Homo-oligomer: A and B are copies of this chain.
Amino acid sequence: MERIPILTMGKLLLVTIQVDMHDRLALALQDDLTNRIVKDGARGVLIDISSLDVVDSFIGRMIGNTAAMARVLDAETVVVGMQPSVAITLVELGLALTGVRTALNVEKGMALLARGGTV
């Protein structure tokens, strides 16, 4: 598979990351996601990382950058399903994902966006 699928749910886009990210795949995802935000007029992006046991600085930066790109396109990003070990690693790597909102699961993430009036 060459691309990570992006699912549309109303004004929300949902991305489930379940494969190891490499440079080309991350760039393709950012490309697809920004295009879809514009095309679908999406207001919120949910990135599910529940299947990631480990995270490195590359993935951490990729998530932060993707959220920043969504923000300049007026879409709010919520990272959902982060495992405790990933949270520990991210902070240890100095990547506290500042400006990125998080929620324990997809439902809570959707509720967070709905509460904030985003979608």
Contacts and interface: CB of A to CB of B under 8 A. Distances in A.
Nearest to A16: B16
Contact of A105 (B7, B105, B106, B107): B7
A16 B9 contact: no
Contact of A1 (B5, B19, B48, B105): B19
Identical copies of this chain, number? 2
B48 A5 contact: yes
Contacts of A105: 7-8
Contacts of A18: 1, 4-5, 16, 18-19
Contact of A5 (B7, B9, B50, B107): B50
**The 6 A-B residue pairs with the shortest CB-CB distance in the complex, in nearest-first order:** A5-B51, A7-B106, A16-B16, A5-B50, A1-B51, A1-B18
